[in-house]
Chains A and B, each alone.
Chain A
Amino acid sequence: MIAIPANPTRGHLLRCGPGESILDLARHQSMGGLVALRKALAMQPAALIDEVKKATIRGRGGAGFPAGTKWSFLPKDNPKPRYLVINADEGEPGTFKDRYFLEQDPFPLLEGIAISAYAIGAHTAFLYVRGEFVHGIKVLEDAVEQMRKAGVLGRSVLGSPFALEIVVHPGAGAYICGEESALLESIEGKPGRPRNRPPFPAVAGLWACPTIINNVETMACVRLVLQHGADAFLAMGLPKDGGPKIYGLSGHVKRPGLYEAPLGLTLRTLIYDFGGGTIGDKPIKGIIPGGSSTPVLGPDALDVAMDFERIKAAGSMLGTAAATIFTEGTCPVAVLLRISRFYAHESCGQCTPCRDGTGWLERIVESIEHGTARPGDCDVLLSAANQIMGNTICALGDAAALPVISFVNRFRDDFEAHITGRACPYGAA
């Protein structure tokens, strides 16, 4: 059993509750800020990477790849500069956790970046922030400036020989730029079209230089590892999934928002204890557990633990641990239509199965919702989705196909009722 916090709106990662913020470097320092960075600078980079490896921070951007392991892929003998790139594109629908750091609590993120940059030997870090977060970009630029003035960033980080600049780089509205190789193209000033791999970014990333890409929350976790030590960090989570996690909750719940708990929280605790249950106390119809690309689950999954392994065993994915709930009386076809429309809109157009396939998915789901689909179209839909899966350069194709497959399988009766009744039985169309 994991320890369930009494007040989950605060914790190690969420230092501020809703409406609060820590935007002043002095205040950050008075709360134990920069201790982790000082500790890191006193260590050899290799020892630092070992400590992060030991903490098994699995990447918080969705894929769950262990941060320390990723760092160790950097080539030892490449003379080119190394870059650290932080992914603050936060685009996966349902997800709103990184925005917390950008707008309310930027220093743990920036400190984590400084620690990580020192560990991997990068002297420039690019923080790629989605363009809609105009306020967050201002907050970050101000926080970076405060750190530079205080000698925490710049030519000599806290008086050490290590130099670091953090560049806040705005995106301009493209979900695909959250995909790490598209993000690199975007920083280079190009359209955000994912790259073929290999080479992986650790070998040839930004301007073909060795590059590490990590999520915002991953950086905040790196700081916690240094602050408390790898063992203490592990004890905040599970033996194989280290650390605390920020969980998002949205949709038909009484108290949507961000909550912090150890990895392995059950959906039931998240929805009923933290979220206060569903609006109108209606029974749950569907749970999208980790962002809109993760396969939809039903109320039978309420006791599933939200960690990388167990949610996978239950047929979905942890993704960004941002759960969106919908209750009985909601048309699942209408919900899927919003999701399919999104992926069709966001396909970069590079791979034919995704460019054409996501459009097909949207049009078929739309015709089902509007009662104009033909018998057999559910199978056409499944077959179209299956032909996208695995046939594209990046995972956006899979992200579009997975919800379709899971919605049709879980709510097949609802889909067929639209077709036979030639209308949406929920009146949602």
Chain B
Amino acid sequence: MALAFSPDADREFDRIVRRYPNRRAALIPTLVLADRQFGYLSREAMEYVAKRLELPSAWVLSTATFYTLLRKRPTGRFHLQVCVNVACYLKGADQLGDHLKKRLGIGFGEVTPDGLFSLEGVQCLAACGTAPVIQVNDAYHEDMTLDKVDALIESLRTAPADGGAAAGPGGAR
């Protein structure tokens, strides 16, 4: 079946387009919307955005591939992003990352076979005063420790299908 925005996403799309003097300016917000709705930006999703905005697909592809938050492949239902930059490094981010890799049996950039978790090392999340930080989907988890990470993983494993509180207001992105 061809991809299409849900009615809710369609309303959001209209709201976005209305804010700008031209359609190209609506591109990044629309790609963010598409990434959320479709789970990631497949080639098909990018073409869909191009069609909706009436933009050449080359413009859409070159922009979509430039920005790291726009996912170009599927992630787990819970996408764990461990900050590896300097402030978090000084507060033990490497140990957190290693612990998560061992516990989930995957490396950075990988997804667990059940599709529940994916893991990624990311750059500074601008929460250095509460380092180390892990972002799960939309939600920041700050002042993390190995114990807190274990508790987090447990709560995510038993989270309801809509994402649950630990994944933050946006749910599974």
Q: Which residues of A are interface residues toward B (Cβ below 8 A)?
A: 90-96, 98-99, 130-135, 138, 165, 167, 169-175, 186-192, 207, 248-252, 256-258, 288, 292, 322, 324, 326, 330, 334-335, 338-339, 341-342, 345-346, 348
The chain B residue with its CB closest to the CB of A339 is: B86
Nearest Cβ in chain A — how far from B21, in angstroms? 7
Residues of chain A within 8 A (CB-CB) of B123 are 93, 175, 342, 345-346
B67 touches A172 (CB 8 A): yes
Contact B129 A258 (CB under 8 A): yes
Interface presence of B46 (CB below 8 A): no
CB of B126 within 8 A of CB of A130, answer yes
| Minimum CB distance partner of A174 in chain B | B67
Interface pair A91/B70, CB less than 8 Å apart? no
- Complex-state Cα separation, A427 to B163, whole angstroms: 40
Task: Mark out the residues of chain B between 1 and 54 whose CB falls within 8 Å of any chain A CB in the assembled complex.
Answer: 19-22, 24-29, 31-32
Instruction: Determine the chain A residues whose CB is within 8 A of the CB of B32 once the complex forms.
Output: 131, 170, 172
Q: Which of B58-66, B107-115, B152-160 contacts A (4 or more CB under 8 A)?
A: B58-66
Given the interface contacts A135-B168, A288-B86, does A173 sit within 8 Å of B25 by beta carbon? Answer: no
Would A250 and B129 be within 8 Å (CB), given that A174-B66, A324-B90 are in contact?
Answer: yes
Within 8 A of A (CB), among B125-159: 125-131, 135, 138-140
A-B Cβ contacts below 8 A, count: 145
Nearest 7 Cβ contacts at the A-B interface: A173-B69, A189-B27, A172-B67, A191-B66, A250-B128, A189-B24, A173-B68
Given the complex of chains A and B, what is the CA–CA distance between A345 and B22 in angstroms? 31
Residue of A nearest to B20 (CB): A167
Q: Which interface residue of A133, A134, A188, A324 has the most chain B CB atoms within 10 A?
A: A134
22 A-B pairs whose Cβ atoms sit less than 8 Å apart in the complex? A91-B124, A93-B87, A94-B128, A132-B125, A134-B138, A134-B169, A135-B138, A135-B168, A138-B169, A165-B19, A169-B28, A172-B28, A172-B32, A172-B67, A173-B67, A175-B124, A288-B86, A292-B85, A324-B87, A338-B85, A338-B86, A339-B85
* Cβ B25 vs Cβ A249 within 8 A: no
State in angstroms the CA–CA spacing of A250 and B129 once bound together.
5
Q: Is B105 in the interface zone, CB < 8 Å from A? A: no
Chain A residues with CB under 8 A of B170? 134
Q: Point out the residue from A186, A187, A335, A348 that lies within 8 Å of B89, measured CB to CB.
A: A335
Give the shortest distance, in Å, between A290 (CB) and chain B (any CB): 12
| Nearest CB in chain A to that of B84: its residue | A338
Looking at the assembled complex, report how far the CB atom of B137 sits from the nearest CB atom of chain A, in whole angstroms. 9
Main SS at interface, chain A: mixed
CB A97 to nearest CB in B, in angstroms, measures: 9
CB distance from A8 to the nearest CB of B (A): 13
Distance in Å: Cβ of A295 to nearest Cβ of chain B:
14
CB neighbours of A175 from chain B (8 A): 123-124
Asked if A190 meets B86 with Cβ closer than 8 Å, knowing A94-B128, A256-B131, A346-B123, the reply is no
CB distance from B124 to the nearest CB of A (A): 4
A7 to B24, CA, bound (A): 47
Q: A249 contacts which chain B residues (CB < 8 A)?
A: 129
- Provide the bound-state CA to CA distance between A345 and B124, in Å: 12
Contacts of A90 in B (CB 8 A): 126
Known: A132-B69, A134-B138, A326-B90. 12 other contacts (CB 8 A): A93-B124, A95-B128, A99-B127, A165-B19, A172-B68, A173-B69, A252-B90, A256-B130, A256-B131, A324-B90, A330-B90, A338-B89
**Distance between Cα atoms of A171 and B125 in the complex (Å):** 13
**B92 CB, min distance to chain A CBs, angstroms:** 11
Chain A residue with the shortest CB-CB distance to B83: A93
Return the chain B residue nearest A428 by Cβ: B94
Q: A134-B168, A186-B28 are in contact. Are A173 and B63 (CB under 8 A)?
A: no
Q: Which chain A residues border B66 with CB–CB below 8 Å? A: 174, 191-192, 348
Q: Are B128 and A188 in contact (CB under 8 A)?
A: no
Given the complex of chains A and B, what is the CA–CA distance between A173 and B22 in angstroms? 22
Q: What is the distance, in angstroms, from A145's C-beta to the closest C-beta of chain B?
A: 11
Complexed CA–CA distance, A186 and B69 (Å) = 14
Pair B124/A94 contact, Cβ less than 8 Å = yes
Chain B residue nearest to A175 (CB atoms) is B123
**Given the complex of chains A and B, what is the CA–CA distance between A169 and B32 in angstroms?**
11
Q: Which of A131, A134, A167, A256 contacts B129, CB < 8 Å?
A: A256
Q: In the complex, what residue of chain A is closest to B60 when comparing beta carbons?
A: A189
In the bound complex, how far is the Cα of B73 from the Cα of A109, in angstroms? Answer: 36
With a cutoff of 8 Å between Cβ atoms, the chain A residues found around residue B59 in the complex are 189-190
CB distance from B156 to the nearest CB of A (A): 17
- Find A189's partner among B63, B91, B168 (CB 8 Å cutoff): B63
Q: How far is the CA of A245 from the CA of B75 in the complex (A)?
A: 40
Chain A residue nearest to B23 (CB atoms) is A189
Question: Which residues of the partner chain A approach B126 to less than 8 Å between Cβ atoms?
Answer: 90-91, 95-96, 98-99, 130, 132-133
Question: Is there contact, CB below 8 Å, between B87 and A251?
Answer: yes
Chain B CB count within 10 A is highest, among A135, A173, A207, A249, for: A173
